[in-house]
């Protein structure tokens, strides 16, 4: 691409509109929808009846609500356009109830997860979590399955509503979660309790240091209450995390990192069931897939052959009759980092965690990269973390499967993609590519979009529109404009496609039934509601 062409992209109306939004105080995550319009101000490339859509995001739990609004016949959460039928493809299975084609179906059922083993043993388990993380201790921890096993109970505490940002309420619903934990600890009916304190991860994605520090200290305070309850009732407390976040708050250049990290996470056993809780010797290092085998051994249950993880216990002596009760507590987003600079966990007051770490048996667990089924040297995330905690084995994630399909060229023979692209061409309908625009997000990557554009060009698709979702998680400030510019460069280089929508992921990727947010995304994609960016002579578009 020539310098003149690159300058054309850098100064495109869409990129200019994003930069103007930055100056007006907006940021990527909650960027108001920007719509490309023609010289008459009419929206370009909206979803119309009979069009084909490829939602190329992975992960899936945040993509369900928006997909429902386009594919569910009896959708009633907000008014939708009548007689709008879309031929819809999702990159992976978001939910089994969705009326869509799936490009990369699941490899198969993950059998004998931690929850299933507990259920088969006839033990009662309760999972306690606030709604912001309910899908993780449910769907992902159960091996990406919607099934609720016999004996498995779930207590979901509502996350705060009617707030624009969790920075305004960093305490979230941690206190209420702890109260539920305390109540269940008192009841010997429950042999296993699994709980998640979400604050550090959720608030850690917000560029607000004061709020993050408060979130960390709130979690530590609740941890103290939980320790007291476990000690009083003789419950073995196992503490771990799914990935790191705010222990590496700064990039090397001093800018703020609101994303996840590659750091290990803690694993602590405080065995209040025993009179001498410090006697256990455990491995100094392990990985998240070792959590389930370790807890099963504490409960006196055999590890199933499907679990390739190993117990971390080195000197465990099985009692003749196991009566131990276990609380597995996940401090979401709590990583380990020896460096103090830019480490908000080190900067915050965490006396309860620090004492637990110093007084009881502990280990460092790998929670990123290949240890959680992801590419080498990549950061961890809540999906992979809970999946591996619950499965007790390494599970190859969808991103790796898709990347391998690109490498071996099977991506370009994918039946669902070809169906959508050939169908749009044959029926003279538009092809829409919808998804996250980021170098690396747990929800997707610009790489997958690029390969879809290549395939569309190979198949000579006629009308291709890109709808970009942006959001700063692990990205530097104002990176959305850069990525949108990169996509426009792709379109120009391939001589196909046009970016016609940009919006913050806050609106499109909801999982808490905030239907007002989802409706805003719907209105942008269907009706063209949003701030206008007038189209230039688009030399890279096939239109």
> Which residues constitute the domain of residue 192?
114-395
125 inside domain: yes
Tokens for 360, please give them: 């009881």
The pLDDT of residue 444: 84
- Residue 497: which of 458, 524, 444, 441 has the closest Cα? 458
Half-sphere exposure of 448 (CA within 13 A, CB side): 33
Q: Which element (helix H / strand E) includes 183?
A: helix 174-185
135 inside domain: yes
Please list the pLDDT of the chain residue by residue as tens digits (543 residues).
445 445 445 678 999 999 999 999 998 989 999 999 999 999 999 999 999 999 999 988 899 999 999 999 899 999 999 889 999 999 999 988 999 999 999 877 899 999 999 999 999 999 999 999 999 999 999 998 989 999 999 999 999 988 888 999 999 999 999 999 999 999 999 999 999 999 999 999 998 999 999 999 999 999 999 999 999 999 999 999 999 999 999 988 888 888 899 999 999 999 998 776 556 789 999 999 999 999 999 999 999 999 999 999 998 777 666 789 999 999 999 999 999 999 999 999 999 999 999 999 999 999 999 999 988 888 999 999 999 999 999 998 888 899 999 999 999 999 999 999 999 999 999 999 999 998 877 788 899 999 999 999 999 999 999 999 998 665 667 888 999 999 999 999 999 999 999 999 999 999 889 999 999 999 999 999 999 999 865 433 333
- Would you give the DSSP letter of residue 436? E
Cβ atoms 513, 65 nearer than 8 A = yes
Tokens for 480, please give them: 């959305």
Cβ atoms 350, 358 nearer than 8 A = no
The pLDDT of residue 538: 44
- Would you give the DSSP letter of residue 491? H
The pLDDT of residue 315: 81
543 inside domain: no
Cβ atoms 144, 154 nearer than 8 A = no
541 inside domain: no
Together in a domain, 310 and 162: yes
The pLDDT of residue 539: 37
Together in a domain, 301 and 215: yes
Together in a domain, 193 and 319: yes
pTM for this prediction:
0.77
Together in a domain, 405 and 380: no
Together in a domain, 93 and 140: no
Cβ atoms 523, 79 nearer than 8 A = no
Last residue of a domain, one of 380, 395, 410: 395
425 inside domain: yes
Q: Which element (helix H / strand E) includes 434?
A: strand 431-436
539 inside domain: no
The pLDDT of residue 53: 98
Together in a domain, 440 and 332: no
Backbone phi, psi, residue 66, to 5°:
-65, -40
- Would you give the DSSP letter of residue 371? G
Angle at 130 between CA 352 and CA 72, to 5 degrees: 155
- Residue 121: which of 290, 390, 292, 302 has the closest Cα? 302
Tokens for 222, please give them: 């609740």
- Number of independent structural domains in the chain: 2
Residue reference for tokens 């404009």: 481
Backbone phi, psi, residue 238, to 5°:
-115, 120
Half-sphere exposure of 74 (CA within 13 A, CB side): 1
How many Å from the N-terminal Cα to the C-terminal Cα in the chain? 20
Beta-strand (E) ranges in 245-370? 265-271, 285-287, 326-331, 361-366
| DSSP output for 121-163 | TT--EEEEEEGGGHHIIIIITTTS--PPPTTEEEEEEPPP-S-
Together in a domain, 130 and 228: yes
SS3 for 235-274, per residue?
Answer: CEEEEECCCCCHHHCECCCCCECCCCCCCCEEEEEEECCC
Together in a domain, 119 and 95: no
The pLDDT of residue 261: 95
Together in a domain, 25 and 127: no
Q: Which are the contacts of 528, defined by CB distance < 8 A and separation ≥ 6?
A: 35, 37, 42, 43, 46
344 inside domain: yes
- Would you give the DSSP letter of residue 73? T
Together in a domain, 123 and 62: no
Last residue of a domain, one of 363, 379, 395: 395
Last residue of a domain, one of 371, 395, 419: 395
| Coil/strand/helix, residue 39 | coil
Q: How far is C-alpha 133 from the chain's CA centre?
A: 10
Whichever domain contains 227, its CATH number is: 3.40.720.10
Together in a domain, 88 and 127: no
**Cβ-based burial of 501 (10 A; exposed 0-12, middle 13-18, buried ≥19):** buried
Q: Provide the 10 A C-beta neighbour count for residue 512.
A: 16
308 inside domain: yes
Together in a domain, 192 and 69: no
- Would you give the DSSP letter of residue 372? G
- Would you give the DSSP letter of residue 414? -
C-alpha to C-alpha distance for 29 and 12, rounded to whole angstroms? 21
- Residue 452: which of 91, 105, 125 has the closest Cα? 91
**What does the chain come to in residues?**
543
């Amino acid at each position: 691409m020539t310098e003149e062409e690159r300058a054309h992209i850098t100064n495109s109306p869409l990129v200019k509109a994003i930069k103007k939004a930055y100056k007006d105080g907006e940021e990527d995550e909650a960027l108001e929808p920007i719509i490309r319009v023609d010289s008459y101000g009419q929206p370009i490339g909206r979803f119309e009846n009979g069009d084909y859509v490829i939602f190329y995001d992975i992960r899936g739990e945040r993509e369900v609500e928006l997909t429902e609004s386009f594919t569910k016949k009896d959708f009633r959460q907000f008014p939708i356009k009548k007689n709008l039928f879309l031929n819809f493809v999702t990159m992976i299975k978001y939910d089994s109830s969705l009326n869509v084609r799936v490009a990369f179906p699941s490899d198969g059922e993950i059998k004998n997860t931690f929850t299933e083993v507990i259920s088969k043993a006839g033990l009662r388990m309760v999972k306690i979590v606030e709604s912001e993380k309910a899908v993780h201790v449910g769907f992902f921890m159960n091996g990406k399955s919607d099934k609720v096993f016999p004996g498995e109970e779930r207590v979901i505490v509502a996350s705060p509503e009617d707030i624009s940002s969790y920075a305004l309420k960093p305490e979230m619903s941690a206190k209420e979660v702890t109260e539920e934990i305390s109540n269940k600890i008192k009841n010997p009916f429950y042999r296993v309790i699994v709980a998640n304190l979400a604050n550090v991860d959720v608030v850690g994605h917000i560029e607000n240091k004061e709020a993050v520090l408060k979130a960390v200290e709130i979690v530590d305070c609740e941890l103290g209450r939980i320790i007291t309850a476990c000690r009083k009732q003789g419950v073995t407390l196992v503490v771990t995390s799914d990935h790191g976040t705010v222990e590496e708050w700064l990039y090397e250049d001093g800018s703020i990192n609101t994303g996840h990290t590659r750091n290990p996470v803690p694993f602590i056993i405080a065995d209040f069931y025993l009179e001498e809780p410090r006697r256990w010797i455990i491995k100094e290092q392990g990985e998240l897939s070792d959590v389930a085998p370790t807890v099963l051994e504490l409960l006196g249950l055999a590890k199933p052959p499907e679990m390739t993880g190993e117990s971390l216990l080195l000197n465990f002596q099985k009692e003749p009759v196991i009566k131990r009760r276990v609380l597995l507590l996940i401090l979401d987003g709590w990583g380990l980092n020896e460096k103090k600079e830019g480490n908000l966990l080190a900067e915050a007051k965490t006396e309860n965690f620090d004492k637990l770490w110093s007084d009881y048996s502990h280990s460092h667990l790998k929670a990123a990269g290949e240890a959680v089924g992801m590419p080498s040297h990549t950061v961890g995330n809540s999906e992979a973390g809970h999946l591996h905690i619950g499965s007790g084995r390494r599970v190859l994630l969808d991103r790796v499967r898709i990347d391998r399909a690109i490498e071996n060229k099977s991506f370009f023979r994918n039946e669902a993609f070809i169906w959508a692209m050939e169908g749009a061409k044959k029926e003279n309908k538009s092809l829409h590519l919808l998804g996250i625009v980021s170098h690396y997000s747990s929800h997707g990557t610009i790489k997958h979009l690029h390969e879809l554009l290549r395939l569309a060009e190979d198949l000579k698709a006629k009308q291709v529109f890109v709808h970009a979702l942006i959001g700063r998680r692990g990205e530097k400030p104002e990176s959305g404009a850069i990525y949108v510019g990169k996509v426009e460069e792709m379109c120009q280089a391939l001589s196909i496609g046009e970016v016609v929508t940009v919006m913050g992921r806050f609106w499109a990727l909801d999982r808490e039934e905030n239907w007002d947010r989802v409706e805003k995304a719907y209105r942008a994609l269907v009706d063209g509601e949003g701030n206008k960016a007038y189209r230039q002579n688009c030399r890279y578009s096939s239109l």
